[in-house]
Every structure is written in structure tokens, then in C-alpha cells.
Amino acid sequence: MRGSGAIDLKDKILILADNLTRVSNRYYKYFPYLSLLLGILTVVLWQRGFEFIRWVFIYLIFIGITTLVLLRFAKDLPQENRVFSIAVWCIEFINQNLYQDLTLFLLPIYYQSSTILSANVIFVIIIAVLSIITTFDNVYRGLILKNKITQFLFYTFNLFAFLNFGLPVIFGIRNIYSLYISISLSVLLLAPLFVDYREIFRRSKAAVIVGMILISILAISLSKGFIPPVPLKLVTGTASTDIDRIKKEPIKPFESRTSKGLETIYCYTSIFAPMGIHETLWHVWKIDGLVIQKVRQEISGGRREGYRTWSKKTISGNNMKGRWTVDVETDGGQLIGRVRFEII
């Protein structure tokens, strides 16, 4: 009786797997659109205060890492029966769709943290290009899956972009630390996919992985200005003649005005950040591209309307006429947003 029950259970598993295969093949073409929708929905829900979204990130990180590790170990085991083949197929299916469509999930998230006409738009463009490539399976297989190097770069980029967003959201890690932790974890977790795990603890292989991590950290350090400071976002920003300290709102905001009677300029900003995040920011004042003042700001996340803060600059004489900008930057130098105005 036990043997018969085991056979029945095995047959049920096979039937279920076959049905899942047919359904997934039928609706496979819609998966990219679903990923994009989930990314947009994440941004909308997060800004509306749905803090439970952080558990979605924990789940996705767990699934993404475990499927990659399981796939690497499973492929080295003997394939003796169909159940094993189906198990490997399930892992590959989750792995492919999670990582292939992850760029579409990340696109709206990084876009909302980028600043138009700034260097960090380049990162968003890269995600957009990868999203287009991964939408077409033939192009994806021809460009990404053609060799281990392109696979490693693609998976590492995706995992880094996701962790860089997820770690501050889940653990409240400061943005500058999140960059280096994310790239280190990405290289460390993905390197065994392309290095025999039985040799990973040998001195020569370990040295290669450590070298890869150090090079990646250096690359991030040099290029962090091109990466949007997710999950931070400039909600509002304006110049004004004064600040209402009670309502914490700008008084007489302007984009352009004469210097006559103007003694002090205020830059008012509202920064969105998820609950649990504490960041050091800077208001970097510039006139015609020349830095004239930096003001340190401390913010805390969790406010739907954003954390409201401001800085001021006392002006005098005609030398203050020109095009002004106030860049809102993280402590690591990433641009959150930019306020522009003109004194004539």
C-alpha cells in the first residue's frame, strides 16, 4: 500500500508539473509586462505608505539567490528520473524569469530616483536597454546567454541593482554603504556559478574572487555618480524668499526674480525615503556652475509627503546675479535632485 501511495503521489506531481509547463508556455509572453507592472505598483504603493512591501523584497532576494545556488549544485547531480528533470526545469524557469524580467521591475524604481539631464540617467538608460533585450528571447539568448562572461555581467548587474534598492528598504542601510555591500554580495554570490564550487576554497580561486570583488568596489566608487540614489527621491524643491517655520512651507517661491531687495535666498526641499532610513544629505549651492556653499542636512524616512528641510544663502551685490542651482546629494555624492532658479 505504501508503494502504491508513493506512485500515486509521484504521478500527481508529474501531472501538476506538465500542467504548469503548458500554462507557463502559453502565457510566457506576458511575463515582461507583469514585471513592469509590479515595478510601477511597488513605487505607487511604497509612496502611499504600504510598508509591507519590504517583505516582498525579502522574498525576492531569497528566491533569487537560492534558485541560482540550487541550479549550480543540481546540474552536477546525476539525472536519473523525470522528477529530477522537472525539478531542475522549475528552478531554471524561476531563475530565468526572475532575472530576465528583473530589469523591467527595476526600471520605474530607478527612474523615479533619477534626475533628468544628469549623469544618473545613464544608469536608467542601461536598465531600459537591458529590458528591451530581455523582452525578446532570441536576442536575450544571443547576446546575454552566449557565454559565461556576459551571463555573469548581466546577473551581477541585476542582482546589484536589486540589492542596492532592497538593502536600504529592508535594513535601513545608508545609501553609500548599500552600494559597496550590494556589489560585493553580488560578485560573491554569483562567482560560484562560473567557478567549480569544489575549487572555490582553494587559495588560487579564492584570490580570484577577492580580486573580482575589489575591482567591482573600485568600479562602483568611480561610477557612483551615474547611479540613482534609490530609494530616495526629491518630491519637491524650490527657491523662496523665506520659510514658514510653523507650516514648514516656502514663502513666495520663485524660479526667476530680480536681485532688488533680495538679501537671502532659501532652498526648500522635500525628500521621500522609506521608514527606517536615516541619511546625511547636502545642499550644494552653485552659481553658473561654481560651487559657493555646501549645507549639511539630516533626514529620516517614513513621511508620505517627504522629509522637509531647507538651507539659505545670504547674497549681496551684482555678483550674485546669474543661473543658480542647488544640488541635493547624498553623503556619497549621488544626486537626488536639483533645484534651478535665476537672479537677474
Q: Which residues of the chain have pLDDT under 50?
A: 1-2, 6
- Residue ranges and CATH numbers for the domains of the chain are 2-226 (no CATH), 233-343 (2.60.40.1930)
Task: Give pLDDT, residue 327.
Answer: 98
pTM of the model as a whole: 0.79
34-56 tens-digit pLDDT = 666 766 776 676 666 555 556 66
Instruction: Choose among 60, 127, 43, 121: nearest CA to 94.
Output: 60
168-221 tens-digit pLDDT = 888 889 999 999 999 999 998 888 766 665 666 676 778 888 899 999 999 999
